């Protein structure tokens, strides 16, 4: 499966998810707002559990698009409930 661009569809809608672009934005956001190197951000993205799961349905894509990139970046950097320890 090509994970650069993922195309999923159901009976009502077809979604094109630019996974590689999403990951690049995530790395940049982690690096910028997490005050870390791009290399460290790249490792965090590579090991980020939600990105390891298959993306096969429109619901899978919506899962990533319902929150902004900053939220995903902070989850990857600080983990669940990041807003309590890193407001």
Give rounded-to-5 percent helix, strand, coil for the chain: 60, 10, 30
**Per-domain boundaries in the chain:** 6-85
- At 1, the pLDDT band (50, 70, 90 cuts) reads very low
Q: What is the pTM of this model?
A: 0.87
Residue found under tokens 């899978």: 60
Single out the residue of 4, 17, 26, 18 nearest to residue 71, CA to CA: 26
6-62 pLDDT, tens digit per residue, is 999 999 999 999 999 999 999 999 999 999 999 999 999 999 999 999 999 999 999
């Amino acid at each position: 499966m090509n994970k650069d661009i993922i195309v999923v569809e159901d009976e009502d809608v077809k979604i094109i998810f630019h996974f590689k672009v999403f990951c690049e934005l995530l790395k940049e956001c982690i690096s910028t707002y997490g005050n870390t190197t791009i290399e460290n951000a790249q490792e965090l993205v590579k090991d980020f559990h939600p990105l390891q799961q298959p993306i096969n349905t429109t619901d899978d894509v919506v899962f990533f698009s319902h929150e902004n990139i900053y939220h995903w970046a902070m989850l990857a950097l600080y983990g669940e409930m990041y807003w309590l320890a890193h407001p």
